[in-house]
Structure 1
Amino acid sequence: MLKTGVCSVTFRQESIATIINLAVQAELDGIEWAGDVHVPPGNPAQAAATAKKTEASGLEVSSYGSYYRTGAARHDYSFETILETALALNAPSIRVWAGEKESRHADASYRQRVADDAVRIASLAQEKGVEVHFEYHGGTLTDTRESARKLMEETSHPNLKLYWQPAVGQDLENRLADIKEIKPWLKHVHVFFWVVTERWPLLAGEKDWKHYLSLLSDTEEKRYFMLEFVQNDDKNQFLEDAEVLRTWLEEMKYHEL
């Protein structure tokens, strides 16, 4: 089931009400609420109020975007606090990062620490019916397809999944290879189009994204495609990108019939 959404950090300076209104105007399905700005950990009352406002507007909470780093030496918030907040938010999943080192700088001992903590938090979340998803991100153990696959095999936990997003600086061929490699664990997708590190309108990336979607759309699970990194943080551009994304996903659904 293909769903559309937005990461609230896309408009981190905006209020919760403004982001909800934008998502409704854009005819999206849900919102990934960010734990570093809109729904901070440790405030379940605010999280519950955000969930209520989101759902009252006809939207779903797609996930809770925490910045918990598995295996880190210190954390701003315990995972238990993050989980409590996610439950109050009615979030079905929590996004985390796989450590705080690039995979090329991680020895076996470090990888084991990251994996052990990931298994611990995945088990805690599973008891509450919440999934844990690693972001596919530079500077962590999911910065390459090889390391991401290895981490998923090292953890081997049914409650751990992966996001995907286009890696900075890679060509189309390598990005498609990334998707194929991590596909057994793939859950949600962050959607944007960059040329190197410059943000462009999503439509400019149509050729690439049609290739990505050919591999990403064949799922019976709920898979959110969440907009992020809008050009110039412009709301009108966001609305245009949302329309483009909705059109692409509708086309993919049609082709599957």
Structure 2
Amino acid sequence: MSVRTGLVSVTFRQLGVGDVLDVMDLAGLDAVEWGGDVHVPTGDLGAAQRVAAACAGRGVDIVAYGSYYRAGSDEPGAFDAVLRTAIALGAPRIRVWAGAAGSAELDPARRDLVVDDVRRITALAAVEGIEIAVEHHPGTLTDTLESALALYAEAGHPRLRPYWQPRLGLDPDEAVREVTALLPGLVTVHVFNWAADGTKLPLVGGAPLWLPVLDALRAAGDAQRYALLEFVPDDDPVALVRDAITLREWLGGG
């Protein structure tokens, strides 16, 4: 199956939902992960339903609800609002974070709290036909490939999925090793190009890393996967249009 292109809505926190959809249309993107901080606030079911209707009217597929729930760190009951919001939005998966500390900082007991909570929320979401996707991010239990793989193995639920995004300064060979190790469960990559100091750069300069990563995703070919653009230079919609062209060219879509 193909790798579809789309957008992570937090790329444009300064824009309203309608404006984000307008920019997506200009960029030729029709898949979106809506953020739970600005565009679809957690617990605001009315907003979630309105966004779902707006997407349906524009032919845009909602592929995830990007929550900021931190497993094993947030109050466990807080996930209920996240799940209800995702249901109202019609999202097939919820993105979460694996705790609030890096793998080297956690003792076994605190690590177990994260793993147990990931398992718990995945089971709750599965009842509603929703997957849980864990962000690969510094300062969490997925800050290294080895720690992430251990988390997924220990949580042990078929509805648990990894996300992937490159760490700053990641070597292309290491990027491919990580992505390959996360397949076939890997469903989504967040696509961006940052300098070592965190400066947002045009995507085209990230070709040495992204071309082999995208090739690895396409070679898997056993499921629908997504390459979602995130973080463009100067938070500029024009930059998104440019980066979307680059991403489609890399995927062979012109």
TM-score normalised according to structure 1 size? 0.94
- The residue type equivalent to 1:180 in the other structure is T
Q: Distance in 1 between matches of 2:252 and 2:93?
A: 25
- Aligned Cα root-mean-square deviation (Å): 1.5
Q: Distance in 2 between matches of 1:185 and 1:108?
A: 25
- Indicate the SS of the match to 2:137: coil
Q: Distance in 2 between matches of 1:250 and 1:88?
A: 34
Q: Structure 2: which 5+ residue stretches go unaligned? A: none
Q: Calculate percent identity across the aligned residue pairs.
A: 42
CA displacement 1:140-159 (0-9 Å, x = unmatched): 00000010001011111111
Identify which of 237, 246, 249 aligns with 1:247: 249
Contact 2:29–2:244 at 8 Å: present in 1 too? Answer: yes
Q: Displacement of 1:204 after TM fit? A: 1.1
Q: Distance in 2 between matches of 1:184 and 1:2?
A: 13
Q: Distance in 2 between matches of 1:102 and 1:72?
A: 12
- Indicate the SS of the match to 2:189: strand
Q: Which residue of 2 aligns with 1:53?
A: 54
Q: Which residue of 1 aligns with 2:29?
A: 28
Q: Distance in 2 between matches of 1:220 and 1:183?
A: 10
1:1-257 paired onto structure 2 within 5 Å: 1-74=2-75, 78-196=78-196, 197-217=198-218, 218-250=220-252
Contact 1:10–1:230 at 8 Å: present in 2 too? Answer: yes
Q: Distance in 2 between matches of 1:60 and 1:26?
A: 15
Contact 2:70–2:99 at 8 Å: present in 1 too? Answer: yes
- The residue type equivalent to 1:103 in the other structure is S
- The residue type equivalent to 1:231 in the other structure is P
- Indicate the SS of the match to 1:195: coil
TM-score normalised according to structure 2 size? 0.95
Contact 1:24–1:59 at 8 Å: present in 2 too? Answer: no
Contact 2:175–2:209 at 8 Å: present in 1 too? Answer: no
Q: Structure 1: which 5+ residue stretches go unaligned? A: none
Of 215-224 and 27-36, more deviation after overlay is shown by 215-224
- The residue type equivalent to 1:31 in the other structure is V
- Indicate the SS of the match to 2:163: strand
Contact 2:12–2:20 at 8 Å: present in 1 too? Answer: yes
CA displacement 1:11-37 (0-9 Å, x = unmatched): 001010000011111111211100011
Of 29-38 and 165-174, more deviation after overlay is shown by 165-174
Equivalent residue pairs, number? 251
Q: Distance in 1 between matches of 2:238 and 2:200?
A: 15
